[in-house]
Amino acid sequence: MSNQSSMTEFLLLGFSDVRELQILHFVVFLVLYLASLVGNLLIVTAIALNHRPHTPMYFFLMNLSILELGSISVIIPKSMVNSLMNSRSISYSGCVAQVFFFLFFASANFALLTIMAYDRYVAICQRLHYEMVMNSGACVQMATSAWITAILNSAIHTGNTFTIPFCGGNTVDQFFCEVPQLLKLVCIDSYLSEVGVIVFSMCLALSCFVFITMSYVQIFTTVLRIPSEQGRHKAFSTCFPHLTVVSLLVCTAAFVYLKPTSSSASGLNLLVAVLYSMLPLMMNPIMYSMRNKEINSALSKWMCWRLFSKNKMSTSPSVAISFSVSL
């Protein structure tokens, strides 16, 4: 890219210059990262190895967990390394890669949440046609379209951002390479070339949000017509985890991208960025696994099988030794 010849690195915003606080930031991020990593890996493992939860909802949930594993691995490890090494730098190519993959995982995540809203709509509002509409081929096509759309959106957005010349230095007012903060560094006369891509991305996000909203309006209308209270509770419980994750993601992201760029301090920007980049990713395994009996059952069976296998392997040598001694 044309900028690479004149700029070799960016300087990210640190959480603190005090060494003790940098170590604390590393420890806190490590705990949060490992919690999200383990939670999403357990969901993927439980769905992949268990034969029961292979319905469309669990297929999309496994895809969502894979995307969240990638999303949290794009920005958190680099921030942890910088705090541990008392550094703020990220290479130009590293910043490009971070922007591309963060936009890719975020776009695919939101697209997949939109598909999951449609899945809940069909399951509740069109129950008789659910198996025909949400067959395995249709689920694979919808998931693939989400991934491909995210790749195209990320490639266009990243390529256009880094072909604009930077005239405002190389200090990014964020703990990772975030597009709104990078745009503060570009030349003013070149900023208009990014407007079209921003409008395109916002139209995609707004379309997904409108589709999710319309789906849930139809869902709530249908659920409220269910005569039994137990039936209404069961229908709402299947939508609650998805609706919570979507609401959290939309609210935090909207605050970041719709607020004026100069209206808040760096500390507030960091706090909000942590919320929208990490909190929804941690809520997914909590909301879907703790409130879902099939996921809990699959995890329990898998863990029991692993413990049984280890115990069997540990007792086999002792049995063989005792048998040889007796001979």
**What are the pLDDT digits (tens) for 49-66?**
765 556 788 888 888 888
SS3 label, residue 53 = coil
Closest CA to 278 of 23, 99, 20, 73: 73
Torsions phi, psi for 292 (to 5 deg): -125, 120
Question: Which of 66-75, 237-246, 318-327 is least confident?
Answer: 318-327
pLDDT at residue 213, rounded to an integer: 87
User: Which of residues 283 and 26 earns the better pLDDT score?
Assistant: 26
Question: Which of 35-44, 161-170, 308-317 is least confident?
Answer: 308-317
User: Which of residues 7 and 162 earns the better pLDDT score?
Assistant: 162
Q: Is the predicted pLDDT of residue 202 greater than 50, yes or no?
A: yes
Q: Which amino acid is at 145?
A: S
Kindly report the pTM of this predicted structure. Answer: 0.80
SS3 label, residue 175 = coil
CB 43 within 8 A of CB 289: yes
pLDDT at residue 170, rounded to an integer: 84
- Give the list of residues 6+ apart from residue 45 with CB closer than 8 angstroms, or none: 302
Closest CA to 284 of 107, 67, 11: 67
For domain 2-291, say whether CATH 3.40.50.150 is its number. Answer: no
